[in-house]
Chains A and B, each alone.
Chain A
Amino acid sequence: MNELLSQDKSIYLQLSEMIETDIIRGILLEEERVPSTNELAKLYTINPATAAKGVNLLVDEGILYKKRGIGMFVSEGAKAQIIEKRKSVFYGNYVRNLLEEAKSLGISRGELVAMIDGEQ
């Protein structure tokens, strides 16, 4: 909950990723209440409509769920679900960029593999 918002991408996406990261790191636990959209709006000085958009993204994916009149909670199995989701976009988000940059610098596949192997 202490990450800073940047201008690099949509605020609501950053907010939903921040909540996800907090779940992965054990800052927010499963079956625990997460801050309401109004609390998030005040915390980050962002419009509550934007905060709601970020939270609803996670509700739609089943990572958070709403208890009527009480608030928003982390679903059981949310952590595993987020890790699965991040793995599935890992290639597109990281590996492809890595390969493109390596190609433009003339780094061969062999050199690249050696770098990865050398990293402990």
Chain B
Amino acid sequence: MSELVCKNISKAYKKKKVLHGIDLTIEQGKIYGLIGRNGAGKTTLLSVMTAQNPATGGEVILDGMPVWENQQALEHLCFSRELNTLSILGPNSVKVKEYLMMARMYYPNWDREMEKRLVERFDLNVKKRISKLSKGMLSMVTIIVALASKADITILDEPVAGLDVVARTDFYQLLMEEHVNSGRTFIISTHIIEEAANVFEEVIFLKDGMILLKENTQELLERAVHVSGLAGEVDAACEGLTIHHVENIGRSKGVTVLLSAGQQLHPGHDVTVQPVSLQNLFVALCGREA
């Protein structure tokens, strides 16, 4: 059914190029994690994918239909943007319940029951104005819009920003429940990687406006290892392999290795081999060069 495809998407703001030839296929029924540093182009990519922002080049296609200015396609998409108290919605004056009412009118499959249930669960005061909300409360509003929209493909940009750890755990549970019950597709961008790693079926690393990788999360983690020990031993164990993020402390050396299919470390060397978390792998691939 709903497959969302980016074909060679590029985007520039005046002379500043933000996205460079993005090819990406979002398949029905998966949860994707979109991970990238500040300024990598995450929000731009998500807004282009949902036709809230025109691409400079390329095309976004939903089930064979271009998404741009196509109401029929847009009904299947929800991009719940990160809100801020100065949001352009004119709405330093808009109350939470008015904002939710606008969303209810916009999304054809809006689930009123879920909206009510989530407002209660988050203990959100709907009479408050958007401009008076804390960072965490703003995130709650974007989560409610995303989940209650019932859109086939739902995108959340930084949904857990400003939420405390209990609310974040709550969010991922609600998300998983909704995903399991409805089979909806979700794309979630976050900077708090570790607690979301098990939720993502696939991860997409975005670096400098390009897709660095898109892969099944568990398979990616299985081929990533951290190798450490006496520098010479580490070098011998990793000879010919793809090495990222080298750290040297005196005679000691640590490297992150991403093995390709069929590759393994050279055996017989006195090194410590440890699994790598998604967060550490991201830092190794997208962090500053040592």
Q: State the A residues within 8 Å of B (CB).
A: 5, 7-12, 38, 41-42, 44-50, 53
Contact = CB atoms under 8 A, between A and B. Distances in A.
Contacts of B216: 49
Interface string B199-236: 11100000000000000111001100000000000000
Contacts of A42: 173, 176-177, 180
14 contacts: A5-B198, A10-B218, A10-B222, A11-B198, A42-B177, A42-B180, A45-B172, A45-B198, A46-B198, A47-B217, A49-B30, A50-B198, A50-B218, A53-B218
B218 A11 contact: yes
A46 B197 CA distance: 9
Contacts of B180: 38, 41-42, 48
Interface in B123-141: none
Interface in B30-73: 30-31
Given A7-B275, A8-B275, A10-B218, A41 B176 contact: yes
Contacts of B177: 42
Q: How large is the interface on B (under 10, 10 to 19, 20 to 34, 35 or more residues)?
A: 20 to 34
A47 B275 contact: no
B194 A47 contact: no
Determine which residue in A10, A45, A53 has the highest number of CB atoms from chain B within 10 A of its CB, and name it.
A45
Contacts of A53: 218
Contacts, number: 47
B277 interface: yes
B201 A44 contact: no
B104 interface: no
Contacts of A5: 198
A60 B64 CA distance: 38
Interface in B143-179: 169, 172-173, 176-177, 179
A81 B222 CA distance: 27
Contacts of B217: 47, 50
Contacts of A41: 176, 179-180
A104 to B, nearest CB: 10
A18 B111 CA distance: 37
Determine which residue in A8, A10, A38, A49 has the highest number of CB atoms from chain B within 10 A of its CB, and name it.
A49
Contacts of B176: 41-42, 45-47
Contacts of A8: 275
B31 A9 contact: no
A47 B222 CA distance: 16
Contacts of B194: 7
